[in-house]
Amino acid sequence: MGSIDTVLFELRTFEPSRTFAAEAHIGNRLEYDTIWRQAQADPVTFWEESARNITWFSRWKRPLIWKEPYAQWFEGGTTNAAYNCLDRHLKEGLGNKTAIIWEGEDGSSQNLSYQALFEKVCQLSNVLEVKFGLKPGDTAAIYMPLVPEAIIAMLACARIGVVHSVIFGGFSGPAIRDRVQDAECKVILTADVGYRRGQEIELLKTIDSVMPEMPTVQNVLVLKRKTDTVLKEKHSDWNLLVDQEAKTHFPKPFDSEHPLFLLYTSGTTGKPKGIIHSTGGYLVGVSTTAKWIFDLKTTDVFWCTADIGWITGHSYVVYGLLSHGATIVLYEGAPFHPHPGRFWEIVDKHKVSILYTAPTAIRAFMRAGDEHPRKYQLSTLRLLGSVGEPINPEAWMWYHTEIGRGRCPIVDTWWQTETGCILISPIPGVTTTRPGSATKPFPGILADVVNEEGKSCSPNEGGYLVIKHPWPSMLRGIYKNPERYKEAYWTKFPGMYFTGDSAHRDDRGYFWIKGRVDDVINVSGHRLGTMEVESALVSHPAVAEAAVVGRPDPIKGQALVAFVTPRGDETKVSVKELVRELKEHVSREIGAIARPDEIKLTRTLPKTRSGKIMRRLLKDLAEGKEPTGDTTTLENQALIELIED
């Protein structure tokens, strides 16, 4: 019971091309290996040197104060996240450079320069500070569609020291209420509507439905996108107030440890946790990783497809990219609306050079058919990224072949809301990649795989993924709940941050993330990670997606139940025949121990709005129960639709 069985092995490898390496920030493998070894031996010095890449108003006295489980990075240093994302670029003459390319679902688009973005942030900062009386340390909720004003709201809060809590624009009233009340937000910044799949999403009505249950809220600033929207008590017109304000604002210096934002976890397993992130350490982490992992150039057009309501949007749409003066793409809309080639149309239209998206999306594109991306050139792409969950090898290969056309390196990144920035990833100019592996930790990240006793696992022995040394962008706690913080992350393995994920390292030292420890199933004494079984299923040409859960079994302990979405609208063979074929396929790929006891074919899988499969609900279904618990984050309330013979 001390380790987790490793049953899936992938031997294909891909070297960085000479052309890419020659032009990369880090393209010399020997040089990088030296940097990496030195950073692992002395992570504090590595991060202290990295901190010089952002602008500080006053220098720190000590780089790290560590009193488990609390870290203080760059003690005494002061900075401002909005200044680093805006003001300093204007001083460098980048005012006319495009900061944001916004694309609407209907094909409309808008470009915003760094000068224009700066002015709009200054105006909103004045509204929040003067009109609404917000002070450093106050909290504000941002509940908006994916429009430039959402980023403007984040940067305005950062500029004046107000802690922002971004709430994904698809959440329901109760989910908003819980987050706003926990954070005691004084202001909500929102829009009357958003647009997705050709429909209006009524954000303001959702807020109004729970307004009586949010007594801390004093003002609601509304971006009116419809002329006939009627504003009520506590509502203020965004454009009316902002347009009256000066286009200048002096940014305040804040201590490195001043909270920058709260971000609540999705709440799929209970009450959402308000993760606290600092200003200085967080900015150092996301800025450094953005440059090295994405080989970020001044000419790049970067499209991270995540919403800013998730940590990926915070780190690699807003702060990590804008701190480099990059050009980013925002898309308000669904991937397949109004046609299945919408993503690839946007890549060609805006000459996207770096695409960062989730395995869930990649598998959905696979299911839709190769003919859709093949209609587009995709010639401006030079690097691809994967984020959000482990990517199975077949999805990796499809991404490489169909989207990257065999020329684009893929950075398969592992990190969490809690980590703030990417912790394990290839460096595209030097790392030999393997489909499905996040490869090695970023310099200065001391990751390990340990068994139940906290001892390092042998190569190819599965165990628990931990981090053994503080890093700058790590969470600073759970808002108003220090005991939950200690219990969740620091009690299982003393002196180590427990990620909650299972993993193994291969003979090269590459990390293979298996998924959440909760997704480990005990079958006849063998502990199997569900990701490996799911990868085997998806490697079958008839399968688009798969989710594997366990149900109690009187003989085996647990039985494997797989929910499988076939490619295309219907299966080409009978349901019984496909089920039989898939069971045999898993036996061939992994072994008889991983053969699913039951396979259910379904047209949909229950997912959160961030694209993660809600296995908790599938476990209930596998056991013949009615799904229970919090479903406010569920994208499709219909759950699943089984395909029967």
Surface-to-core class of residue 507, CB atoms within 10 Å of its CB (0-12 exposed, 13-18 middle, 19+ buried): exposed
Q: How far apart are CA 481 and CA 495, in angstroms?
A: 20
Residue range 508-522: mean pLDDT, rounded: 83
Q: With contact defined as beta carbons under 8 Å apart, do 557 and 524 qualify?
A: yes
Q: With contact defined as beta carbons under 8 Å apart, do 337 and 105 qualify?
A: yes
The predicted structure's pLDDT at residue 269: 45
Among the residue ranges 94-103, 106-115, 295-304, 507-516, the one predicted with the least confidence is 507-516
Say yes or no to pLDDT of 410 above 90.
yes
| Three-state secondary-structure class, residue 543 | strand
Residue range 374-403: mean pLDDT, rounded: 95
Q: How far apart are CA 471 and CA 39, in angstroms?
A: 12
- Position 590 confidence tier, pLDDT thresholds 50, 70, 90: confident
Residue range 223-240: mean pLDDT, rounded: 95
Say yes or no to pLDDT of 379 above 50.
yes
Measured CA to CA in angstroms, residue 238 lies from 115, 189, 212 at distances of: 20, 9, 22
- Position 432 confidence tier, pLDDT thresholds 50, 70, 90: very high
Which helix (DSSP H) or strand (DSSP E) does residue 577 occupy? Answer: helix 575-589
Residue range 612-621: mean pLDDT, rounded: 82
pLDDT tens per residue, range 170-183: 888 888 998 999 99
Residue range 565-581: mean pLDDT, rounded: 81
Measured CA to CA in angstroms, residue 631 lies from 270, 275, 499 at distances of: 10, 20, 24
Three-state SS across 301-316? EEEECCCCCCHHHHHH
The predicted structure's pLDDT at residue 346: 98
Say yes or no to pLDDT of 635 above 70.
no
Instruction: Give DSSP secondary structure letters for 445-505.
Output: --EEEE-TTSPBPPTT-BEEEEE-S--TTS--EETT-HHHHHHHHTSSSTTSEEEEEEEEE
The predicted structure's pLDDT at residue 628: 63
Q: How far apart are CA 411 and CA 433, in angstroms?
A: 8
Say yes or no to pLDDT of 77 above 90.
yes
Nearest to 325, CA basis, from 2, 579, 93, 605 = 93
**Which residues, in sequence order, are bridge partners of residue 545?**
565
Q: How far apart are CA 609 and CA 636, in angstroms?
A: 9
The predicted structure's pLDDT at residue 6: 58
pTM: 0.85
The predicted structure's pLDDT at residue 633: 57
Residue range 77-86: mean pLDDT, rounded: 98
Work out the angle at residue 395's Cα, subtended by the Cα atoms of residues 390 and 400, and round it to the nearest 5 degrees. 110
pLDDT tens per residue, range 104-126: 999 999 999 999 999 999 999 99
Residue range 538-545: mean pLDDT, rounded: 89
pLDDT tens per residue, range 270-295: 577 899 999 999 999 999 999 999 99
Say yes or no to pLDDT of 525 above 60.
no
Q: b or e along 20-35 (b: 16 or more beta carbons within 10 Å of the residue's beta carbon)?
A: bbeebebbebeebeeb
Among the residue ranges 4-18, 367-381, 620-634, the one predicted with the least confidence is 620-634
Q: With contact defined as beta carbons under 8 Å apart, do 371 and 400 qualify?
A: no
What does the block give as tokens for 53? 């890449």
Q: Is the model more confident about 591 or about 349?
A: 349
- Position 481 confidence tier, pLDDT thresholds 50, 70, 90: very high
- The overall average pLDDT reported for the chain is 91
Q: How far apart are CA 387 and CA 385, in angstroms?
A: 7
The predicted structure's pLDDT at residue 282: 98
Instruction: Give DSSP secondary structure letters for 211-267.
Output: GGG-TT--EEEEE--STTPPP-TTEEEHHHHHTTS-S--PPPPEETTSEEEEEE---
Longest Cα separation, the chain: 72
Say yes or no to pLDDT of 267 above 50.
no
- Position 490 confidence tier, pLDDT thresholds 50, 70, 90: very high
At 206, give phi and psi (nearest 5°).
Answer: -65, -45
What does the block give as tokens for 362? 């990649």
Say yes or no to pLDDT of 580 above 70.
yes
Give percent of the chain above pLDDT 90: 76
- Position 1 confidence tier, pLDDT thresholds 50, 70, 90: very low
Residue range 239-267: mean pLDDT, rounded: 93
Q: How far apart are CA 117 and CA 159, in angstroms?
A: 13
Q: How far apart are CA 454 and CA 395, in angstroms?
A: 33
Say yes or no to pLDDT of 222 above 60.
yes
The predicted structure's pLDDT at residue 392: 87
Say yes or no to pLDDT of 631 above 90.
no
pLDDT tens per residue, range 183-209: 999 999 999 999 998 999 999 999 999
Surface-to-core class of residue 9, CB atoms within 10 Å of its CB (0-12 exposed, 13-18 middle, 19+ buried): middle
Beta strand 219-223 with 187-191: parallel, antiparallel or unpaired? parallel
Q: With contact defined as beta carbons under 8 Å apart, do 328 and 321 qualify?
A: yes
Alpha helices in 144-196 (DSSP H): 148-160, 173-183
Q: What topology does CATH give the domain 524-622?
A: GMP Synthetase; Chain A, domain 3 (3.30.300)
At 346, give phi and psi (nearest 5°).
Answer: -65, -40
The predicted structure's pLDDT at residue 636: 60
Residue range 235-260: mean pLDDT, rounded: 97
What does the block give as tokens for 356? 């960062």
Residue with token string 């002395």: 42
